[in-house]
Structure 1
Amino acid sequence: MHPWGKWGRSFVGYGTHAARAALADAGLEWRDVGSVVGANTMRCGYPGYVAGATFAQALGWQGARVTSVYAACASGAQAVNTARSQILGGLADVVLVVGADSAPKGFFAPAGGERPDDPDWLRFRVLGATNPAYFALYARRRMALYGDTPEDFAQVKVKNAAAGALNPLARYRTPVSAAEVAASAVVADPLRLLDICATSDGGAALVLSSMEFARRHGHPDPVRIRAVSTVTPTYPKAVLDLPDIATDSAAVVSPAPHSFRASIARAAYEEAGIGPEDLSLAEVYDLSTALELEWYEDIGLCAAGEGAKLLRDGVTSLGGRVPVNTSGGLASFGEAVPAQALAQVCELTWQLRGTAGDRQVPGARTGITANQGLFGHGSAVVAVR
């Protein structure tokens, strides 16, 4: 990875830094790579739209197959899925996956001017609902349904900041108290500034290969990708006339008895042949503190409405039964959209190798990542050792 922050440089530099680090970690040369999959960044102009080729050019043309993938926040996991499919399909023995972003300060404005067919543009311009407003609606819903409080939300930030303080790649490495969260400015009631993730620059990369290739190149027991879920929502349109831009449903009617986010995790568990009870840790997309509590329930760590209790009991903290966001999460990194889902898999890899330092989960054997991209892009990766 390239450390997260506001570095003010091109995403290409962040991505190639991460790519070279990943190749060195794997003990490979750039010329050994048979395919490059780049996660796109729409904010960075034409090079960002063709990220795979942009990174291949920056590393030096050597004839590798190239692919570029865009799936909003799920871009990195979709890139992993593409790489994995190429390997399983016999198109390449080793694939380099890269994602990086150079993000502007403040809200992520939709790219490309006026776009009335773009749900992001509509949400910003017609509803005035920037991302923090969207997160606040989820928070208010939890408060109404389950009795969650702003104090519960603040404890998510406290937990993640404590983990981020132990991560040399994180942007924010200072512990935070609940009182500091409560004293920060209100952004979208009930969420305060420290409840919401920042925007950041950063880069992450992975080297994926077949098991045979890994063993031939000195990795007899590598971390393995057991499943990648990239499902889309399922809605009972015959019963509920929901708009196509919807990305979640509270409807408990057939054939969609679960929320979209829960279906993302369920598909990953089914492919991997495991359940939430098998997890050693999880990395989830904490765009806001309240949303992390939703993810606890969606990935099956507890029943609906019990996320705050799980947090209060210390289950998801370092040292708990199933630590969540041992990296420090977006609370500590900020959001570099095409890199973040890859950064989640990096954290799983270090944890499963036992090389995560002071934030290490003892005996970690199985982990899951989870996030959700706009337009109904699901994203979950299960890794095992």
Structure 2
Amino acid sequence: MSNDVAVLGVGMHPWGKWGKNFVTYGVHAARAALADADIPWTDVDLIVGGETVRNGYGGYVAGATFAQALGWNGARVATSYAACATGAQALDTARARILAGLCDVALVVGSDTTPKGFLAPNAGERWDDPDWLRFRLLGMTNPAYFALYARRRMDLYGATQADFAQVKVKNAKHGLANPNARYRKEVSVADVLGSAVVSDPLHLLDICATSDGAAAVVLTSVDYARKHGIAAPVRVKAVSTVTPTFPNTVMDMPNLSTDSSAVAGVPERTFKESIAHAAYEEAGIGPEDVSLAEVYDLSTALELDWIEDLALCKRGEAEALLRAGDTTIGGRIPVNPSGGLACFGEAVPAQALAQVCEVTWQLRGQATGRQVEGARVGITANQGLFGHGSSVLLSV
């Protein structure tokens, strides 16, 4: 039995700092996706919203908020939250109802209005909230732990600050032709290394911004697509939202006298590797089949980690791929042809859906100015909080 569902429409509101309510952005993206699908609003029988906790009560009930803003049509509503994996979890909710035969057409919307500066937890003391604890007690903002990941790559694999900068250079070039990107300007390695140090070894241009933005996807059953004359739509082949396996620490630092593979209880895969593996396993597709990847580049160093987590190369080889130009459009496995979060910034409930939009355009051959020629399979990856993570695998 096939678990495929069809992607008939995708749409976005451009990323930026627009100063408007998140609903405005979400409605714009939803209408664009419906127009792309050529499906009337009245055919939609499920709306799933990506929750936006910063944006008041309307954000907590995002599915109903978007349904009301688009005009009540009797559809069912649902709301999902999984931090940066929110969009993929919302997509999976819609996919599940379609595969169960409970609906034919689902609209999935994620939208955000972000504050200036680093994302921080809500005010007030919350001693059972790991985010509050790391921010308030340890001063461990997101860039600080991005820097720990980066330093780890340097220690393990010999990565350099110039390698990290080259990721930004690549993604900035990719984003030049993307009309939805916030930053559309080329940068050099010298520009990155000359920008302010935020958390050593990462500079300001190594770290993504926070943005307003939205993305939407129209999913349908394959039968619905066929009945409407679309015989070969882009298909969602898998959505992975697996949690870590206990214990979730792998002893992989250098110069250890203990062979980590021999330590009882150490999992076969890290959390992020498990997310990708589950997607490949469900889809029956391997990393060797992937044409492009859209990954979670909150920092430049994290992109290099994700290339390996998705098994697009072996551990410690991501820098070699980058240096050889293999992760650039025209290379063996283009990574973030959209420009990634480097060019968009974080709009948390929207970014996993934005990745699906980009992969869909790529697989249709519609990514003007940044097209990966002959793209047949695309994979996405996001890491959320507290065991939330996601990977979506699409193909034609």
Provide TM-score, normalisation by structure 2.
0.93
- 1:332-371 equivalent positions in 2, closer than 5 A: 332-371=343-382
Gaps of 5+ in 2: 1-11, 252-259
Deviation readout 1:153-193 (Å, 9 max, x if unpaired): 00000000000111011000001110100110000000000
- 1:102-141 equivalent positions in 2, closer than 5 A: 102-141=113-152
After TM superposition, give the deviation of residue 254 of structure 1 in Å.
Answer: 4.1
Letter in 2 for 1:283: E
> Does the residue aligned with 1:220 lie in a helix, a strand or coil?
coil
Letter in 1 for 2:141: T
Q: Percent of aligned pairs with the same residue? A: 71
Q: In the alignment, what sits opposite 1:31?
A: 42
CA distance in structure 2 between the aligned counterparts of 1:4 and 1:51, rounded to whole angstroms: 19
Q: 2:188 aligns with which of 171, 174, 177?
A: 177
Q: 1:267 aligns with which of 265, 274, 278?
A: 278
Q: In the alignment, what sits opposite 1:62?
A: 73
CA distance in structure 2 between the aligned counterparts of 1:355 and 1:309, rounded to whole angstroms: 30
> Does the residue aligned with 1:320 lie in a helix, a strand or coil?
coil
Q: Is the 8 A contact 1:236 1:253 kept in 2?
A: no
Q: In the alignment, what sits opposite 1:12?
A: 23
Q: In the alignment, what sits opposite 1:283?
A: 294
Q: Is the 8 A contact 2:159 2:319 kept in 1?
A: yes
Residue 48 (structure 1) aligned with residue 59 (structure 2): yes
CA distance in structure 1 between the aligned counterparts of 2:264 and 2:380, rounded to whole angstroms: 27
Q: In the alignment, what sits opposite 1:78?
A: 89
Q: In the alignment, what sits opposite 1:202?
A: 213
Q: In the alignment, what sits opposite 2:339?
A: 328
After TM superposition, give the deviation of residue 113 of structure 1 in Å.
Answer: 2.3
Root mean square deviation of aligned Cα: 1.7
Residue 236 (structure 1) aligned with residue 243 (structure 2): no
After TM superposition, give the deviation of residue 237 of structure 1 in Å.
Answer: 7.8
Closer/same/farther in 2, CA of residues 90 and 189 from structure 1, 3 Å limit: same
Q: In the alignment, what sits opposite 1:296?
A: 307
CA distance in structure 2 between the aligned counterparts of 1:237 and 1:164, rounded to whole angstroms: 35
Q: Is the 8 A contact 1:315 1:323 kept in 2?
A: yes
Q: In the alignment, what sits opposite 2:160?
A: 149
After TM superposition, give the deviation of residue 303 of structure 1 in Å.
Answer: 1.1
Residue 164 (structure 1) aligned with residue 175 (structure 2): yes
Q: Is the 8 A contact 2:308 2:314 kept in 1?
A: yes
Q: Is the 8 A contact 1:250 1:259 kept in 2?
A: no
CA distance in structure 1 between the aligned counterparts of 2:90 and 2:84, rounded to whole angstroms: 11
CA distance in structure 2 between the aligned counterparts of 1:110 and 1:79, rounded to whole angstroms: 22
Residue 308 (structure 1) aligned with residue 315 (structure 2): no
Residue 221 (structure 1) aligned with residue 232 (structure 2): yes
After TM superposition, give the deviation of residue 255 of structure 1 in Å.
Answer: 5.5
Residue 3 (structure 1) aligned with residue 14 (structure 2): yes
Provide TM-score, normalisation by structure 1.
0.95
> Does the residue aligned with 1:357 lie in a helix, a strand or coil?
coil
Q: Is the 8 A contact 1:103 1:336 kept in 2?
A: yes
How many positions carry a matched residue from both structures?
Answer: 377
After TM superposition, give the deviation of residue 199 of structure 1 in Å.
Answer: 0.1
Q: In the alignment, what sits opposite 1:243?
A: none
CA distance in structure 1 between the aligned counterparts of 2:37 and 2:392, rounded to whole angstroms: 20
